[in-house]
Structure 1
Amino acid sequence: MQAQNFTVSGTVTDENGKPLLGATIAVKNASTGTTTDSDGKYAIKVASGNYEFVCTFVGMKTATKNVSVTGNTVVNFTLSDSAEALDAVLISAVRVNADSPITHSNLEKEEIAERNLGQDVPILMNFMPSVVTTSDAGAGVGYTGIRVRGSDATRVNVTINGIPYNDAESQGTFWVNMPDLASSTESIQLQRGVGTSTNGSGAFGASLSLLTDAVSEKANGEISNSFGSFNTRKHTVKFSTGKLDGNFELAGRLSKIKSDGYIDRASSDLSAYFLQGSYVDETTLIKALTFGGHEITYQAWNGIDRETLERDRTFNPSGQFTDENGNVRFYDNEVDNYRQDHYQFHWNQKLSENWTTNLGLNYTYGRGYFEQYKEDEPFDEYGFEEIVINGTTINETDLIRRRWLDNDFYVINANANYKKNNLDMDFGAFLGIYDGDHFGEVIWARFASDSEIRDRYYEGNGKKNDLSFFTKATIRVNDKISLFGDLQLRNVTYKTSGITSDLVPFNIDEDYTFFNPKAGINYRINPKNSLYFSYARANREPNRSDFENNNEVKPEQLDDFELGWRWNGENFTVNTNAYYMLYNDQLVLTGALDDTGTPLRTNSGKSYRLGLEIDASFKLSEQFTLRPNVAISTNKNVDFITSRDGSLVDLGNTDISFSPNFVAGNILSYAPSQKFQVSLLSKYVGEQYMGNIDSDVSKLDSYFINDLNLNYEIKMNSIFESIIFTGLINNIFGVEYVSNGYFFTFDDTWSNPGTVTTIEGAGFYPQATRNFLVGMTLKF
Structure 2
Amino acid sequence: MKTFNNLFFVVAMFLVTSVAFSQGTITGTVVDESGPLPGASVVVKGTTNGTSTDFDGKFTLDVNSASGTLEVSYVGFDTKSVTFNVSGGTQNLGTIKLVSNNSLDEVVIVGSGIIDLAEDRKTPIAVSTIKKREIQERAVGNVELPEIIKYTPSVFVSRQTGFGDGRLLVRGFDDTNTAVLLNGQPINAQEDGRVFWSNWAGMADIANAVQVQRGLGASKLAISSVGGTVNIVMKAAEKKQGGSVRFLTGNDSYFKGTAEYNTGINDKGWAFSVLIDHWQAHRRWAEGTFGQGQNYFFSVGYKPNERHNFNFLITGAPQFHGQKWSQSVDRTLNDPKFNQHWGYTSNLQGNNYTSDIDSERRNFYHKPVMNLNWDWTISEKSDLSTVLYASWGRGGGTGPRGDGRLRDPNGQIDYFAIEQSNQAIGVATGGDDGPGYIRRASMNNHAWYGIVSNFNHEVNENFAFNVGTDLRYYVGDHFRQVANLYGLTAWEEDGVSYTTEYNPDPWAALFNFADEGDRLDYDYSETITYQGLFAQGEYSTDRFSAFFQGAVSNQTYQREGRFQGDLGKSDNLSKVGYNLKAGLGYEFTEDHKVYLNTGYYSRQPYLDNVFTNIRRSNALVQPEVENEEITGIEAGYQFEVEGVFRAIFNFYHTDWDNRVLLSGGTITNTDGSETNINVFERGVRQVHRGVELELDARPTDWLDLRGFVSAGSWQYKGSSNVQIYNDDTNVLISSTEGVDRDGVKVTTAPQFTAGATAKARIITGLSADINFKHFGNHYSNDRDFDGTPQTRNFPTLDSFELVDLGVTYDFNIGENKLTFRANVFNAFDKRGIQDTDQFGSFPITGRTFNTSLRYHF
TM-score (norm 2): 0.73
The structural deviation recorded for 1:321 is 12
The aligned residue for residue 800 of structure 2 is 703
- Residue by residue, what CA displacement relative to the aligned partner does 1:496-554 show, whole Å, maximum 9, x if unpaired? 12168999999574311112110001101101111000011123233243345672444
The aligned residue for residue 146 of structure 2 is 122
Q: CA RMSD in A?
A: 4.0
The aligned residue for residue 442 of structure 2 is 403
The aligned residue for residue 192 of structure 1 is 214
Among 444, 451, 476, the residue aligned to 2:496: 451
Among 640, 646, 649, the residue aligned to 1:573: 646
2:761 pairs with 1:717: no
Instruction: Output aligned runs, 1:547-626, within 5 Å.
Output: 547=610, 551-552=621-622, 553-570=625-642, 571-587=644-660, 602-603=681-682, 605-626=684-705
The aligned residue for residue 65 of structure 2 is none
- Residue by residue, what CA displacement relative to the aligned partner does 1:357-386 show, whole Å, maximum 9, x if unpaired? 1121011000112222323299xxxxxxxx
SS in structure 2 at match of 1:89: coil
Structure 1 residues 592, 624: closer, same or farther in 2, change over 3 A?
farther
The structural deviation recorded for 1:627 is 0.9
The aligned residue for residue 785 of structure 2 is none
The aligned residue for residue 127 of structure 2 is 104
- Residue by residue, what CA displacement relative to the aligned partner does 1:207-253 show, whole Å, maximum 9, x if unpaired? 11111114433211111111111222221111100111162110011
**For residues 473 and 803 of structure 2, what CA distance do their matches in structure 1 show?**
43
Structure 1 residues 96, 464: closer, same or farther in 2, change over 3 A?
farther
The aligned residue for residue 319 of structure 2 is 295
Structure 1 residues 506, 582: closer, same or farther in 2, change over 3 A?
farther
**For residues 505 and 399 of structure 1, what CA distance do their matches in structure 2 show?**
29
The aligned residue for residue 759 of structure 1 is none
Structure 2 residue runs of 5 or longer lacking an equivalent are 1-29, 35-56, 60-69, 85-91, 99-104, 347-355, 406-424, 499-513, 614-620, 668-673, 725-733, 782-788
The structural deviation recorded for 1:87 is 2.9
The structural deviation recorded for 1:698 is 6.8
**For residues 674 and 506 of structure 1, what CA distance do their matches in structure 2 show?**
66
- Residue by residue, what CA displacement relative to the aligned partner does 1:171-223 show, whole Å, maximum 9, x if unpaired? 11112112221111111221111323344632111111111114433211111
The aligned residue for residue 584 of structure 2 is 521
Q: Which protein shows a greater Rg?
A: 2
- Residue by residue, what CA displacement relative to the aligned partner does 1:36-92 show, whole Å, maximum 9, x if unpaired? xxxxxxxxxxxxxx999998899x997456799999x999xxxxxx99876362434
The aligned residue for residue 752 of structure 2 is 662
The aligned residue for residue 768 of structure 1 is 845
The structural deviation recorded for 1:343 is 0.9
**For residues 852 and 299 of structure 2, what CA distance do their matches in structure 1 show?**
26
Letter in 2 for 1:770: R
**For residues 125 and 678 of structure 1, what CA distance do their matches in structure 2 show?**
19
The aligned residue for residue 157 of structure 2 is 133
**For residues 756 and 683 of structure 2, what CA distance do their matches in structure 1 show?**
34
The structural deviation recorded for 1:464 is 0.5
The aligned residue for residue 506 of structure 2 is none
Structure 1 residue runs of 5 or longer lacking an equivalent are 1-25, 31-49, 76-81, 324-328, 379-388, 744-761
**For residues 162 and 350 of structure 1, what CA distance do their matches in structure 2 show?**
18
Q: Is the 8 A contact 1:636 1:656 kept in 2?
A: yes
TM-score (norm 1): 0.80
**For residues 119 and 113 of structure 2, what CA distance do their matches in structure 1 show?**
13
Which shows bigger deviation, 122-131 or 652-661?
652-661
SS in structure 1 at match of 2:265: coil
2:715 pairs with 1:627: no
Letter in 2 for 1:462: E
SS in structure 2 at match of 1:448: strand
SS in structure 2 at match of 1:689: coil
Letter in 2 for 1:335: R
**For residues 500 and 735 of structure 1, what CA distance do their matches in structure 2 show?**
48
**For residues 574 and 300 of structure 2, what CA distance do their matches in structure 1 show?**
39
**For residues 562 and 376 of structure 1, what CA distance do their matches in structure 2 show?**
54
**For residues 593 and 95 of structure 1, what CA distance do their matches in structure 2 show?**
45
The aligned residue for residue 475 of structure 1 is 539
The structural deviation recorded for 1:699 is 4.2
Q: Is the 8 A contact 1:117 1:774 kept in 2?
A: no
- Residue by residue, what CA displacement relative to the aligned partner does 1:122-146 show, whole Å, maximum 9, x if unpaired? 11221122111123326xx332221
SS in structure 2 at match of 1:122: helix
**For residues 822 and 677 of structure 2, what CA distance do their matches in structure 1 show?**
34
Q: Is the 8 A contact 1:86 1:348 kept in 2?
A: no
The structural deviation recorded for 1:641 is 5.8
**For residues 250 and 699 of structure 1, what CA distance do their matches in structure 2 show?**
53
The structural deviation recorded for 1:318 is 2.2
The aligned residue for residue 252 of structure 1 is 274
Structure 1 residues 499, 203: closer, same or farther in 2, change over 3 A?
farther
SS in structure 2 at match of 1:525: strand
SS in structure 1 at match of 2:110: helix
The aligned residue for residue 681 of structure 1 is 771
The structural deviation recorded for 1:394 is 5.2
**For residues 801 and 678 of structure 2, what CA distance do their matches in structure 1 show?**
25
Among 183, 196, 204, the residue aligned to 1:161: 183
**For residues 411 and 95 of structure 1, what CA distance do their matches in structure 2 show?**
24
Among 718, 727, 732, the residue aligned to 2:822: 727
2:486 pairs with 1:463: no
The structural deviation recorded for 1:160 is 0.9
Letter in 1 for 2:373: H
Letter in 2 for 1:517: L
Q: Is the 8 A contact 2:360 2:439 kept in 1?
A: no
2:229 pairs with 1:207: yes
Higher strand proportion (structure 1 or 2): 1
**For residues 234 and 495 of structure 1, what CA distance do their matches in structure 2 show?**
42
**For residues 160 and 567 of structure 2, what CA distance do their matches in structure 1 show?**
29
SS in structure 2 at match of 1:113: helix
SS in structure 1 at match of 2:147: helix
- May I ask how many residue pairs the two structures share in their alignment? 688
2:603 pairs with 1:540: yes
**For residues 705 and 678 of structure 2, what CA distance do their matches in structure 1 show?**
37
2:469 pairs with 1:429: yes
**For residues 670 and 201 of structure 1, what CA distance do their matches in structure 2 show?**
40
- Residue by residue, what CA displacement relative to the aligned partner does 1:680-718 show, whole Å, maximum 9, x if unpaired? 111112132244747565743322100001111002324
The aligned residue for residue 419 of structure 2 is none
The structural deviation recorded for 1:592 is 7.2
SS in structure 2 at match of 1:585: strand
Q: Is the 8 A contact 2:398 2:441 kept in 1?
A: yes
**For residues 314 and 601 of structure 1, what CA distance do their matches in structure 2 show?**
34
Which shows bigger deviation, 699-708 or 677-686?
699-708
Q: Percent identity?
A: 21
Letter in 2 for 1:474: E
Q: Is the 8 A contact 1:529 1:567 kept in 2?
A: yes
SS in structure 2 at match of 1:197: coil
Q: Is the 8 A contact 1:546 1:600 kept in 2?
A: no
**For residues 622 and 675 of structure 1, what CA distance do their matches in structure 2 show?**
14
Q: Is the 8 A contact 1:679 1:708 kept in 2?
A: yes
SS in structure 2 at match of 1:177: helix
Letter in 2 for 1:563: A
Q: Is the 8 A contact 2:110 2:373 kept in 1?
A: no
The structural deviation recorded for 1:475 is 0.9
Q: Is the 8 A contact 1:669 1:678 kept in 2?
A: yes
Q: Is the 8 A contact 1:61 1:84 kept in 2?
A: no
**For residues 735 and 314 of structure 2, what CA distance do their matches in structure 1 show?**
54
Structure 1 residues 393, 517: closer, same or farther in 2, change over 3 A?
closer
The structural deviation recorded for 1:117 is 2.2
Instruction: Output aligned runs, 1:753-764, within 5 Å.
Output: 762-764=839-841
**For residues 148 and 280 of structure 2, what CA distance do their matches in structure 1 show?**
18
Q: Is the 8 A contact 2:246 2:852 kept in 1?
A: yes
The aligned residue for residue 573 of structure 2 is 510
